[in-house]
Amino acid sequence: METKHICIMSTDDNPMGLKEVAEILQKGGTVGIPTETVYGLAANAYDPDAVARIFAAKGRPQDNPLIVHIADINDLPKIAAEIPETAKKLAAAFWPGPLTMVLKRTERIPAIISAGLDTVAVRMPSNEVARAIINCSGLPLAAPSANLSGRPSPTTAKHVVDDLDGKIDAIVMSKDCSVGVESTVISLVDGKKRLLRPGGITHEQLESVIGKVEIDPSVLSSELVAEVSSPGMKYKHYSPKTKIVIIEADSQMFCDYVNRSVENCAAMCFSEDKSKISKPTIVYGNEADDMSQARELFDALRLTDSLNVDVVYAHSPKKTGVGLAVYNRMLRAAAFEVICL
């Protein structure tokens, strides 16, 4: 099929384009849209046939549920059957923004969105173009990341074109994503508070609003992956074709390790490491700035395939703040292969 490219850089940039996107969505089509986390592949969340087209275009396993995106808190009761006090507090603190809450779902949410679970994941994005698209279509939008399943998530419109051109109805060509990793996912069902996936809203931020939040074991480990509470986390993810190995070490030890390696290798490193490395390098942010690492991670992972090396050694980020989300994605890209020096 032919995929339309519709340029919308800001809400007042292209009103006709916005209307066109809304009409495609209302007719059951699929559209790549910008959000602050990563680009999403959106369709009408109430229409099971439209949602099925998302799974088909991405090659996404049917047991990996989708996130529903809304632009108005008043639409939450249409999606979620129970809204606990903790959800209200988190929405007040972090919506619109990169936080997804798993809640009991209403009858209106088709089973295909939730992979047959009785829960639904919902979030309100802060990206103004995403919100305009939701508002203009008048629909809640189911939207997973707009990449081919298993590939690094898309943080630029070009990444979406590279993966999905010819497979979906349209791509909104907009700005690069400001956060760069997917949303934080927290489950609030059955009175529990459990972090299923770290993201742009940190564990520390969540606890500052609702007290103790348990971290699901799957966040930092490959164990329990068969029965994790967040089904999406069990898949090998975010992977370039090139083998990635994480190195946990300080800057000097990391650079020495890469320089001494006899393999045909490259380094995925912080800007501070670059001048100390004698092999090819791909930089992903600055060592002390986890936001910059999140913003650049997926583009860096995509670039590794252009280096023609056998292995890429990735300098581990810190596991605090947004660094926890960066490390969680990198672990999956590296198929959990970590060397601690």
List of residues contacting ligand AMP (CB under 6 A): 64-67, 102, 114, 117, 119-121, 144-145, 182, 185, 196-197, 229-233
Residue nearest to Mg ion (CB): 145
Instruction: Quote the CA–CA distance of 74 and 78 in Å, as a whole number.
Output: 8
> b vs e for 107-135, b when ≥16 Cβ sit within 10 Å of the residue's Cβ?
eebbebbbbebebbbbbbbbbbbbbbbbe
**Cβ closest to Mg ion, residue 37 vs residue 293:** 37
Residue 103 partner contact from Mg ion, ligand AMP, none using kind-dependent CB cut-offs of 5 to 8 Å: none
DSSP string, 233-267: GGS--S--SSEEEEEES-HHHHHHHHHH--SSEEE
Nearer CB in complex with ligand AMP: 21/102: 102
81 binds, among ligand AMP, Mg ion, none (CB under 5 to 8 A by kind): none
C-alpha span between 90 and 85 (Å, rounded) = 9
Q: Pick the closer one to ligand AMP by CB: 82 or 289.
A: 82
Q: Which is nearer to ligand AMP, 17 or 125 (CB)?
A: 125
Within 10 A of 177 (CB to CB), how many other CB atoms are there?
A: 28
Residues forming contacts to Mg ion in the complex (CB under 5 A) are 145
Q: Which is nearer to ligand AMP, 169 or 216 (CB)?
A: 216
* Least gap, CB of 234 to ligand AMP (angstroms): 8
At closest approach, how far in Å is the CB of 309 from ligand AMP?
28
Q: Which candidate, 237, 198, 230, places its Cα nearest to that of 63? A: 230
* Position closest to ligand AMP via CB: 232
The answer to whether 336 touches 235, Cβ cutoff 8 Å, is no
CA 267 to CA 290: how far, in whole Å? 18
Report, in Å, the least distance between residue 56 CB and Mg ion.
15
